[in-house]
């Protein structure tokens, strides 16, 4: 039984024991859990294991293959790094929440059927919302609620799709599904919500920047990459994904440039990176899937690194608004250095992690002849440098000196960032290690002269564009602002429609009530007139007049009788 | 606490390399030089273009420069439509 214990359950069950561990041992214990999970995962043989009979279905908790293992490894690695990053955090709630959340994500990666997937899918939603609420602000509370609505909604749609799919095919296996029926389409939408497809995306930019310093870092890794895994498993080669992904890479860019909250800039940027992976999955060739998985792997690392550096700034300075920051390289030189490594990785500079994964996707797209999508991705690559590679470190650590002075980040944060930065450079310099754990055999050389020169050209000329625009003052200033995104529809338009609907209905109701009231009054008045004390029908008549009327009636009868 | 103050004072008094306008100009000019070198480098290696437009000299560089300038100028216009006060949703 121990042999086929799912690695995710090690984290989930282990997290439940955290409160009873003595404080001094707690941090080491929390580092031990993901390490144990990773060691256990590496000893598991390929194939289906951990099967349980339940409700007449065979639930598979462990399906070990290349795709699942790659995601399992990076999730557990990330959990380990995050636990170091959260070392300073004394609140146990956040640690437990993060461990259960990570465990659920790891668990979901290894399931072999849709029912078990649904269970872990919902668990990631419920466990992670506490990382947002732990910020304990009014904004975080509401953002957390909106986040929960989207996440639980995704789960409910998944359940509906699963039920329809089971009725149509009699199978609950989580294998390649494709867009073939209503059931699989619903499952696709459920995955799409967690993957932040265009117009389903805004829960991400809304909620992630409102979470705690530690929470945002943890959130950045799991939910969206789990969705990438699920899409790669169920919908590889679905052409629609190519277009969805291309759109996803482009539109967050516009927001990222004018966004002031640097953690929100990173959230938009996360969305762009997901777009690259979705395009890879849509292409669906072995090369493209390898690219998507590799990009998810490196993406978790460099995005976490950037979120960690901005978290450190928030922790020490108390704000991550570009308009308030600047010149922090004087106070936090080491954090600035790690941030630049993250920025170089996300921009895909040669010798950094992003380069060896993004190049695979771009090549896979070009080989299949999608020139338009390829140009879109190239555009996104150039802009990523612009708004993430340069904007984040530039406005936080350089630009004009804001006069803000603080200490360097705590040692635990620096260690976590240092490890991540080292892995980012390590993967960039020796990509073969990463390529070995990809689901398909890799026959790809990232470091050709053409790749390196063209990529450097793209990036340096984009940097030149930034410098020229800065020097000439054409670059838009960083302003305190809120930019309207698709959340406007449910935070402003939706409530406004409901409000006006409520007003109209209540007006109609009130006027109807008033009219009925008037009619009733008139009716009562009429009745009163006829039957009231003075009414003709209520008068008491004297006996004489009755006799007279009887006589008249008798006369009429007599007359009619003779006629 | 005194240590912190000391540190802050040190940061205040120290003139950092990037504080000097001349260094910023140096960085700016070196970006131009690097770009120039990269554009020239384009003529000295064998290309493996998949698309025809990749054959254009320094295609990647020009593409990067043009889209970035276009993007930023476009976003300035977009901002006029999308920008609201910071507490827009809190009111």
Res A79: pLDDT = 96
- For chain A, the straight-line distance linking the first and the last C-alpha, in angstroms and rounded, comes to 114
Q: Is the pLDDT score of B1 beyond 50?
A: no
Residue A269 distance to chain B (closest CA, Å): 15
Closest by Cβ to B50, choosing from A257, A258, A366? A366
Nearest to A377 by CA among A356, A363, A391: A363
Q: Is the pLDDT score of B74 beyond 90?
A: no
* Residues ≥6 apart with Cβ < 8 Å to A315: A88, A213, A409, A410, A413
Round to whole Å and give the CA distance between A369 and A364: 9
For chain B, what are the domain ranges? 1-45, 48-86
* A260 contact residues in B (CB cutoff 8 A): 86
Mean pLDDT of chain A: 91
Residue A462 distance to chain B (closest CA, Å): 5
- Which of B61, B69, B81 would you mutate first to test chain A, the one with the most A CBs within 10 A? B61
Nearest C-alpha in A relative to B54: A454
| Whole-Å CA distances, A64 to A43, A69, A111, A224, A434 | 11, 6, 9, 21, 18
pLDDT < 50: residue spans in chain A: 1
Res A388: pLDDT = 81
The complex scores an ipTM of 0.84
Nearest C-alpha in B relative to A261: B86
Res A406: pLDDT = 84
Round to whole Å and give the CA distance between A304 and A41: 23
For chain A, what are the domain ranges? 1-234, 236-473, 492-538
Segment among A115-119, A206-210, B2-6, B76-80 with least mean pLDDT: B2-6
* Residues ≥6 apart with Cβ < 8 Å to A409: A312, A315, A316, A332, A334, A335, A417
Contacts 24+ apart (CB under 8 A), A163-170: A165/A114, A166/A114
Res A60: pLDDT = 87
| Whole-Å CA distances, B80 to A319, B83, B85, B86 | 25, 6, 12, 14
* B35 contact residues in A (CB cutoff 8 A): 457, 460-461, 464
Say what percent of chain A tops pLDDT 70.
99
The two beta strands, B83-84 and A482-483, are antiparallel
Is A461 in contact with B60 (Cβ distance < 8 A)?
yes
| Reported pTM | 0.88
Closest by Cβ to B31, choosing from A374, A460, A492? A460
């Amino acid at each position: 039984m121990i042999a086929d214990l799912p690695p995710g359950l090690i984290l989930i069950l282990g997290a439940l024991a955290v409160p009873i561990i003595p404080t001094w041992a707690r941090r080491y214990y929390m580092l031990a859990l993901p390490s144990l999970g990773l060691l256990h995962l590496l000893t598991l043989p390929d194939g289906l294991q951990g099967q349980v009979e339940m409700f007449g279905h065979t639930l598979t908790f462990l399906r070990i293959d290349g795709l699942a293992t790659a995601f399992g490894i990076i999730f557990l690695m990330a959990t380990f790094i995050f636990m170091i990053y959260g070392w300073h955090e004394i609140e146990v709630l956040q640690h437990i929440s993060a461990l259960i959340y990570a465990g659920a994500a790891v668990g979901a990666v290894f399931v072999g059927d849709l029912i078990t997937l649904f269970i872990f899918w919902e668990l990631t939603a419920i466990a992670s919302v506490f990382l947002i609420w732990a910020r304990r602000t009014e904004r975080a509370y509401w953002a957390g609620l909106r986040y929960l609505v989207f996440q639980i909604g995704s789960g409910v749609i998944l359940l509906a799709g699963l039920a329809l799919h089971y009725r149509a095919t009699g199978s609950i296996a989580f294998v390649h599904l494709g867009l073939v029926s209503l059931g699989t389409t619903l499952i696709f939408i459920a995955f799409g919500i967690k993957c932040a497809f265009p117009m389903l995306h805004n829960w991400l930019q809304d909620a992630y920047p409102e979470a705690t310093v530690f929470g945002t870092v943890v959130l950045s890794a799991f939910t969206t990459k789990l969705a990438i895994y699920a899409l790669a498993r169920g919908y590889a080669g679905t052409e629609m994904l190519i277009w969805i992904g291309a759109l996803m890479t482009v539109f967050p860019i516009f927001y990222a440039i004018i966004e002031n909250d640097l953690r929100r800039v990173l959230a938009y940027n996360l969305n762009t990176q997901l777009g690259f992976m979705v395009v890879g999955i849509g292409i669906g060739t072995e090369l493209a899937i390898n690219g998507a998985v590799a990009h998810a792997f490196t993406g978790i690392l460099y995005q976490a690194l950037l979120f960690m550096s901005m978290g450190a700034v928030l922790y020490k300075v108390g704000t991550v608004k570009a308009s308030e920051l600047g010149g922090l390289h004087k106070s936090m030189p080491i954090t600035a250095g790690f941030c630049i490594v993250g920025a170089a990785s996300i921009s895909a500079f040669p010798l950094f992690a992003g380069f060896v994964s993004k190049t695979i996707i771009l090549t896979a797209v070009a080989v299949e002849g999608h020139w338009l999508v390829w140009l879109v991705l190239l555009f996104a690559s150039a802009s990523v440098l612009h708004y993430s590679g340069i904007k984040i470190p530039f406005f936080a650590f350089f630009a004009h000196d804001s006069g803000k002075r603080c200490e360097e980040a705590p040692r635990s944060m620096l260690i976590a960032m240092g490890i991540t930065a080292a892995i980012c450079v390590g993967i960039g310099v020796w990509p073969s290690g990463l390529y070995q754990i990809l689901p398909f055999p890799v026959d790809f050389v990232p470091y050709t002269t053409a790749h390196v020169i063209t990529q450097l050209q793209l990036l340096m000329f984009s940097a030149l564009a930034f410098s020229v625009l800065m020097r000439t003052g054409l670059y838009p200033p960083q302003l305190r602002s809120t930019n309207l995104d698709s959340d406007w529809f449910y935070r402003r338009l939706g409530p406004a429609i409901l409000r006006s609907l409520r007003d109209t209905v209540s007006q109609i109701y009130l006027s109807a009530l008033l009219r009925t009231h008037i009619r009733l009054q008139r009716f009562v008045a009429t009745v009163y007139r006829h039957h009231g004390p003075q009414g003709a029908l209520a008068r008491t008549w004297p006996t004489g007049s009755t006799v007279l009327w009887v006589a008249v009636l008798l006369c009429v009868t007599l007359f009619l009788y003779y006629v | 606490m005194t240590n912190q103050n000391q540190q802050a004072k040190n940061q205040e008094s120290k003139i950092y390399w990037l504080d000097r306008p001349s260094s910023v100009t140096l960085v700016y000019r070196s970006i131009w030089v690097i770009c120039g070198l990269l554009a020239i480098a384009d003529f000295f290696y064998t290309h493996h273009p998949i698309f025809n437009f990749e054959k254009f000299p320094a295609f990647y560089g020009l593409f990067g420069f043009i889209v970035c300038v276009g993007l930023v100028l476009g976003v300035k216009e977009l901002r006029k439509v999308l920008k609201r006060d910071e507490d827009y949703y809190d009111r």
